Structure 1
Amino acid sequence: MTLEAPSVSSTAEQLPPAPPGRALELTFRIAGVLIAVLATVLTAALEIFLTPLRLGGVPVGVAVVLAVLANVALCWFAVTTVGRRWALAVPWAVWTLIMFFAAGMRTTEGDYLISGEDWVALVMILLGSLTFAGYTYRMILQRPPVTKQ
């Protein structure tokens, strides 16, 4: 009785396809964080530029609404693409730092990007940061899904 080794082609046909590698998963997570940071920078800049918007001399709070909606979307995107709750902290930190710099740095003419007398900008900073905090609190209250081992 002779034993023959199975051919390579018959063995390959029997094996299930290999799952995506850990490197691919890590690449997607890093790309998710980078896209979230880029989107944070863009939305924060847009919010800052919309704070002085007025219609007929009356301030319009479009920047406040945009800050809340964009920050919720940023939170969701970061947590969903990275798959970890800590990913929420990255856009929150970037957004907060941008707002600190915009409120504390002067232009070459001596003006602040966000002045202390602009109620729209102050409410935008408050509600924008509270949006991140509220989303974080909501994530803390959610129980992680139970996985079978």
Structure 2
Amino acid sequence: MTLPAVPMSVAPEQQPAVPPERSSRALDVALRIAGGVVVVWAGVLAAVLELIFATGAWELVKGRPGGVSKAVVGISGAVGGAGGVVALTVLLGWFAYAAVGARWAVALAAVPWFVVIVAGGFRTTEGDLALTGDNVLGLALVVAGAVTFAVLGFRQLVAPPPVG
């Protein structure tokens, strides 16, 4: 018994994918670089907005008369602010991966965020301080943002490589 030269159950060969043109590759690289720049500035903007919110919310809490109303305003500010920071950080991490197309892109948002948050803890020459030690809301926002960036980075490290 002889075997046929071409098996009958095999589908016809598919043509290999045509490599992208050089101009479309350059455009893709340029868009990824531009996306990385946007991600860096979004990380800076997110940190500045969080510091402004933390400072303003803490001044609101400190200015309230004591009692139940002060506790309610403080707790709602902390819970709402921390939830907002987590949501913003997750959105920023997703955008970083989508814009740059690399797993390490979350660091493009996290590093400037950490730099701005740390800078907010130092007193300026005028004596201004964005993040004080008694600002419980600010500390909660810093912890929420740092933990969320850490979780996003860890998830990118342990995620299986994309198929394709």
The AA in structure 1 aligned to 2:100 is V
CA deviations over 1:2-32 (Å, ceiling 9, x no partner): xxxxxxxxxxxxxx8x645221011110111
SS at 2:120's partner residue? helix
Q: Is 2:31 the counterpart of 1:31?
A: no
TM-score normalized by structure 2?
A: 0.71
CA contact (8 A) 2:104 2:153 kept: no
Deviations 1:54-85 (A, max 9, x none): 36723322432222111111111011111101
Aligned residues: 131
Unaligned runs of 5+ in 2: 1-17, 65-69
Structure 1, unpaired ranges of 5+: 1-15
Identity %: 32
Match of 2:140 in 1: 123
**Is the CA contact 2:104–2:156 (under 8 Å) kept in the aligned structure 1?**
no
- Native 8 Å contact 2:120 2:130 kept in 1: yes
2:95 maps to which residue? 77
Read off the aligned partner of 1:21 and give its amino acid letter: S
1:114 counterpart (122, 131, 142): 131
Closer, same or farther: CA 146–76 of 1 in aligned 2, 3 Å: same
Distance 1:102 1:72 in 2: 22
Match for residue 54 of structure 2 among 36, 42, 51? 51
Matched, 1:21 2:24: yes
User: Please, what TM-score do these two structures have when normalized by structure 1?
Assistant: 0.78
Q: Secondary structure at the match of 2:130?
A: coil
Give the residue type in structure 2 aligned to 1:106. Answer: T
Worse-superposed segment, 43-52 or 93-102: 43-52
